[in-house]
Amino acid sequence: QVQLVESGGGLVQPGGSLRLSCAASGRHFSINNMGWYRQAPGKQRELVAGITSGGTTNYADSVKGRFTISRDNAKSTVYLQMNNLKPEDTAVYYCNARSSLDRNWSVLSGYWGQGTQVTVSS
């Protein structure tokens, strides 16, 4: 139904910025809720940011004011702009697609990309 491919990860110093992209295949991108999750070694996968089909956004408290999620339905792409990165942001970041009816961001569901590594280190 949906295939997701993330890009844009890498190594950055504290205070730096990265922009992640997630390109989605399928016919119905515009009616999917989309999210970014991350998972550090030994930790649970957690929501970073979500955006509904209608454009409503949701952010983890730890990234509010620093990260911005957006989507371009014409390009079937969702983005995560990450500013003022901190070492604790280091994780594998995963793109997620789910039904527009599903706004339970704390639950891991739907379709997932392969992940892209973000490392924040001096």
Mean pLDDT along residues 43-64 = 97
Rounded to whole angstroms, the Cα distance separating 90 from 67 reads 14
- Alpha-carbon torsion angle 18, 11, 5, 107, nearest 10: -80
Q: What percent of the chain has pLDDT over 90?
A: 92
Q: In sequence order, which residues have a C-beta less than 8 Å from that of residue 89 and are 6 or more positions away?
A: 38, 63, 82, 118, 120
Mean pLDDT score of the chain: 95
Band of pLDDT at residue 18, cut at 50, 70 and 90? very high
Mean pLDDT of 40-44: 95
122 pLDDT tier (thresholds 50, 70, 90): very high
Q: Residues 29-56: what's their mean pLDDT?
A: 95
pLDDT band at residue 31 under the 50/70/90 scheme: confident
Residue pLDDT, tens place only, 73-110:
999 999 999 999 999 999 999 999 999 999 899 999 99
| Confidence category of residue 30, pLDDT binned at 50, 70, 90 | confident
Q: Which residues pair with 104 in a beta bridge?
A: none
